[in-house]
Amino acid sequence: MAPPPMSSDASELRYVVVVDMDNDTQLDIIVANYGTNNMGILFGYGNGAFLKQMMISTDSNSHPSCIAIGDFNDDTQLNIAVVNDGTTNTDIFLGFLDIISYPTGSAPFTVAVRDFNNDTQLDRAVVNGNDNDMSVLLGYGW
């Protein structure tokens, strides 16, 4: 079974992550759909085929440009961090429905995830395109 075609705005795809999001030991694909203001998740069957793309809204004019994966709330489940180039925030998707937004500088463009301050919580470094600077968002677990 071939994967479904991506949106007609395929030229607006900005970032892709391959990870097992649903703990079924099969790799899944997550894409930042810059032009359509959403993320697409394709859950893998493990044989090269994928379920139809599940779309998750990142809000109007958000223009998601980069995705990072991590367990941001210490529940042993992977979460999605997305930077929205059209806003001044970055979002954490806990599961696929709960969204927590964090302010950044103007036009956040890319994100890196690590424990920068050695407190065992994941932190995020976000490059702000319009401000020519970087925001470091320290994690606190929940």
pLDDT at 25 over 90: yes
Asked if residue 70 has pLDDT above 70, the reply is: yes
CB-based contacts of 7, cutoff 8 Å, min separation 6: 33, 35, 36, 40
Q: Give the global pTM.
A: 0.86
Per-residue exposure over 79-106, b if at least 16 CB sit within 10 Å of its own CB, e if not: bbbbbbbbbbbbbbbbeeeebeeeebbe
The CA distance from 61 to 64, in Å, is 9
For 11, list phi and psi in degrees, rounded to 5: -70, -10
pLDDT, tens digit (0-9, with 9 covering 90-100), for 85-114: 999 999 999 987 789 999 999 999 999 999
Query: Which tokens go with 103?
Result: 């302010």
Summarize the confidence of residues 107-134 as an average pLDDT.
Answer: 94
